[in-house]
Amino acid sequence: MKVTLRNVTKRFGELVVVNNVTLEIADGELFFLLGPSGCGKTTLLRCVAGFYIPEGGQILIGDADATRLPPHQRDTGMVFQSYALWPHMTVRENVAFGLELRGVSKSEIARRVDEALAMVRMTERADYRSPQLSGGQQQRVALARALVIRPKCLLLDEPLSNLDAKLRLEMRTEIRRICKEAGLTSIYVTHDQKEALSIADRLAIMHEGVMAQCGAPRDVYERPVSKFIANFIGETNFIEGPVVAADDRHVVVAADHGQITSTVLPATPVTVGQRVTLSVRPEVIHLGAPPAAGVNVLRGVVHDSIYLGEIAQHQVNVGDITLKVFDLHPKIVARDSHKEETTVWWRPENVVVLTR
């Protein structure tokens, strides 16, 4: 079931928390709302759920206008950050609770609860109570409780934030599996960039109540439209300078100790003399000898190195610029072991020109 938001605005007093947001979430899509605290992502999710009524705009679930419907009439299932399980009830009783409120027959409840528990792999713990479960197991029960009512849309509000790092990794793939097996349209709120990049079909980044960018994870990561997006999702190096050449194939920017060429053209054409910001991700920067006749080749000094197992992180000073470099095939290095000169280089297709 697709979900459509048209010019949705939500205020609390004079404070505009969600400002004129428009987007369409496709049938069966796992869609992420991502952004820092206070950006409006949870408020927008609660508008879809019916906990908040927007002051402006329209919310469609399928083709039905749900803007002012109460939560229980929207056919949405909600998974909360706190799990919200009844501690005195068993797993089975927690999952069945919503069906009992809807007056479903006992035989149908038993069948649907068994199906939901099997989907989240909690059948063997059906008679446990929530205090006997781990955080990951409680999260699975909360998912089963939302799934058992067979919602048209599943809403997840930072469901993994209370889990430790290892459990978060495990539950990411489980949530995607469950959503896809059930064929659910899902809207998932998080501030965790890796969570969104790893399992989303598409994502929207919120900033100060507006939708700053929307697209597939790889597109948003590799082609951010602003400094805020580039800095928020992943890590990057910013290099500022004036444009010295620009045409329909490339942009050349003057930087400390050399010129930098980009073949990723901004949406708004730039002109010679205009100051822009370049975004270069740490993992696309290479150390050592560049290809023959290569561009974007700079000399620098390794200031600091940290060995992290699968990668090494280097800080390389190039004039007044300090570049963060991720070496994906590292030798073991020690912090502050030495200050050695090096060459850094990167390809023009890995430089993004930002005008805002």
Is 318 contained in some domain?
yes
Residues 90 and 194 grouped into a single domain: yes
Over residues 318-325, the mean pLDDT reads: 88
Could you tell me if residue 251 is inside a domain? yes
Q: At what angle are helices 135-147 and 165-182 packed, to 10 degrees?
A: 20
Q: Is residue 233 part of a domain?
A: no
Q: Where are the alpha helices (DSSP H) in 34-105?
A: 41-49, 91-101
- pLDDT for 82 beyond 90: no
* Residues 192 and 269 grouped into a single domain: no
Tell me which residue range forms the domain holding 132.
3-227
Based on the fold, state whether residues 171 and 66 are members of the same structural domain.
Answer: yes
Q: Is residue 32 part of a domain?
A: yes
> Is it the case that residue 69 has pLDDT exceeding 70?
yes
Same-domain pairing of 223 and 271: no
- Chain mean pLDDT for the chain: 89
If asked whether residues 182 and 251 sit together in one domain, one would say: no
Q: Examine residue 12 and state whether it is found in any structural domain, yes or no.
A: yes
Res 266 pLDDT > 80: yes
pLDDT for position 333: 58
* Cα distance between residue 85 and residue 100, in whole Å: 15
Lowest mean pLDDT among 17-26, 59-68, 267-276, 328-337: 328-337
pLDDT confidence of residue 96: 92
The answer to whether residue 264 sits within a structural domain is yes
Do 213 and 295 reside in the same domain of the chain?
Answer: no
Q: What is the pTM of this model?
A: 0.87
80 pLDDT band, cuts 50/70/90, is confident
For residue 234, is it within any domain? no
In this prediction, residue 289 carries a pLDDT of 82
With a cut of 60, say whether residue 335 has pLDDT above it: no
Model pLDDT, residue 55: 95
Instruction: Say which CATH number the domain at 319 has.
Output: 2.40.50.140
| Same domain for 106 and 75 | yes
Please choose, from the candidates 306, 307, 290, 308, the residue with its C-alpha nearest in 3D space to the C-alpha of residue 298: 290
The reported pLDDT for the residue numbered 208 is 94
State how many domains the chain has: 2
Residue where one domain finishes, among candidates 200, 227, 254: 227
Q: Residue 232 falls within a domain, yes or no?
A: no
- Position 356 scores a pLDDT of 85
pLDDT at 309 over 80: no
- Same-domain status, 184 and 243: no
CATH number for the domain including 68? Answer: 3.40.50.300
Query: pLDDT by residue (tens digit) across 103-116?
Result: 889 999 999 999 88
Examine the domain organization and report whether 11 and 151 are in the same domain: yes
**Rounded-to-integer distance, Cα 207 and Cα 18, Å:** 9
* Domain shared by 38 and 140, yes or no: yes
Q: Are residues 208 and 256 in the same domain?
A: no
Q: Do 256 and 308 belong to one domain?
A: yes
Predicted confidence (pLDDT) at residue 336 exceeds the cutoff of 60:
no
Mean pLDDT of 132-154: 87
